Amino acid sequence: MTADEPPRAQRSAPAARSSRRAVAAADRTRQPTEVRRRLIVEAAVPLIAERGYASVGVRDVAAAAGVSVGTVTYHFGSVQEVLTEAMVLNIERYYAALSEAAERATNSAEALRLLVDALFTEDTDRHWRMWFDYWNAADQAPDQGFARGQAQRYQAWHHRIRSLTERGVDDGEFTCDDLDGFTVRFAALADGLALQRLRQEPPVSTEEARRHLNRLIETELRRV
């Protein structure tokens, strides 16, 4: 080294600085693991709704959450895990809102009407799109726990319909010869109308979907 040359440490410093990658603001902020996981999952919800489960990748999730790809893979074993949690979050929120709507009712007949109104609004198409994506993902997932979780949520939905109907029968509001059968038909008609509404083949409006479900209620639950 000549007298005019800088010390070795000084010569290597610029190279070291240039090798450091830029880190997103969200990555520079230390947050608890559960907070960071929730941030990533929340960011994935609209992506699935807009593009579909199969079209969302880890880079999409990272960009939406404002974090690096490495942050996503650090907190989750795979992008499928992120997407699964995102769909579960959306579905649980949706059915919690349905339950709240029904609980505001003063009787079972009103509760069922509010339930129908909440099932079909101009804002629920996103939920239904994710619901059908969730069914499809559960069928294809190698993890049986995923499929079991989906089945449990659907069973809970059936239980909600049946309990509202049974309460109305017990309170003397209406009669029903087949509570289990009504529950199955109500859930199946709701699913079918939702799918038809999404595809619009043939077209079905929000008001028409509600009318079909209310017609089922009026036909099978005879007012006392």
**Which range is least confidently modeled, 14-23, 63-72, 161-170?**
14-23
Which of these CATH numbers, 1.10.540.10, 3.30.565.10, 1.10.357.10, 1.10.8.100, describes 9-223? Answer: 1.10.357.10
pTM given for the model: 0.72
Please say if the pLDDT value at position 158 is more than 90.
Answer: yes
Give residue-wise pLDDT tens across range 55-108. Answer: 899 999 999 999 999 999 999 998 888 988 898 888 888 888 878 878 888 899
Structure tokens at 70: 């490495």
Considering the chain, what is the average pLDDT of its residues? 82
User: How far is Cα 93 from Cα 68, in angstroms, rounded to an integer?
Assistant: 27
Domain definitions of the chain by residue range? 9-223
Mind listing the pLDDT tens digit for each residue in 113-132?
Answer: 999 998 898 778 888 888 78
Count Cα atoms within 13 angstroms, Cβ side, for 174: 21
Query: What band does 204 get if pLDDT is binned at 50, 70 and 90?
Result: very high
